[in-house]
Structure 1
């Protein structure tokens, strides 16, 4: 996926007036899928980290949607979406990314796997 092709206006998917944040006409074009494997016995700490990350995401105006999820007994993920590549880059340089990096050795068996996403289709409220 070429960074220059991401986030073109024709590639954006708009959230209507009843979106969960109260913002209208959010254009969702790109995202991130982060997966990580918790160290044995660290599952509750990872879950608390994700809850804290969700609170921190509320302070990022360019982060339109943010989800911390459990994919399995010790596998967790973060899925978040942005209006464009610039907002995604800002997020990757922000507080949540720094916290993830700072605590990765403590919480996870290996470095989190971070994959950029391009939104091709969506169904949003």
Structure 2
């Protein structure tokens, strides 16, 4: 499995909604586990109010399917409730991967 492309999504929580964003991302694991084309997915906390998601895919088709999938739909349905501004979604190219069990 060669990972070729990915997404980095930055989320800025509204004041007082930091826990809601964190809980949403933790629960998002169940949604992304249902996506066969999303083999790598990380939910991140970058600061007390800033969160992120990094995911990687083997093809552009899988990346586009993820963007149209249930996790993306769930996030977009809660933007006004939880986020200070719309998510920043940055497509990225995967240059190299190291993956070993912890």
Q: CA RMSD in A?
A: 0.7
Indicate which of 71, 78, 81 corresponds to 2:46.
Answer: 71
Question: Which deviations, in whole Å up to 9, do the C-alpha atoms of 1:9-48 show, x marking residues without a partner?
Answer: xxxxxxxxxxxxxxxxx22111000001100111111011
Aligned-residue offset at 1:122: 1.7
**Number of aligned positions between the proteins:** 100
| Alignment counterpart, residue 111 of structure 1, candidates 86, 91, 95 | 86
Residue in 2 that maps onto 1:94:
69
Q: Are 1:37 and 2:5 an aligned pair?
A: no
- The answer to which structure, 1 or 2, has the higher relative contact order (CA under 8 A, 6+ apart) is 2
> Which residue of the partner structure matches residue 84 of structure 1?
59
Match of 2:28 among 39, 53, 59: 53
Q: Which has the larger radius of gyration?
A: 1
Query: Which secondary structure does the structure 2 equivalent of 1:55 belong to?
Result: helix
Which TM-score applies when normalising by structure 1? 0.78
Moved over 6 A (4+): none
Structure 1 Cα separation of the partners of residues 10 and 58 of structure 2? 22
- Structure 2 stretches lacking a partner, 5+ long: none
CA distance in 2 between partners of 1:66 and 1:108 (Å): 20
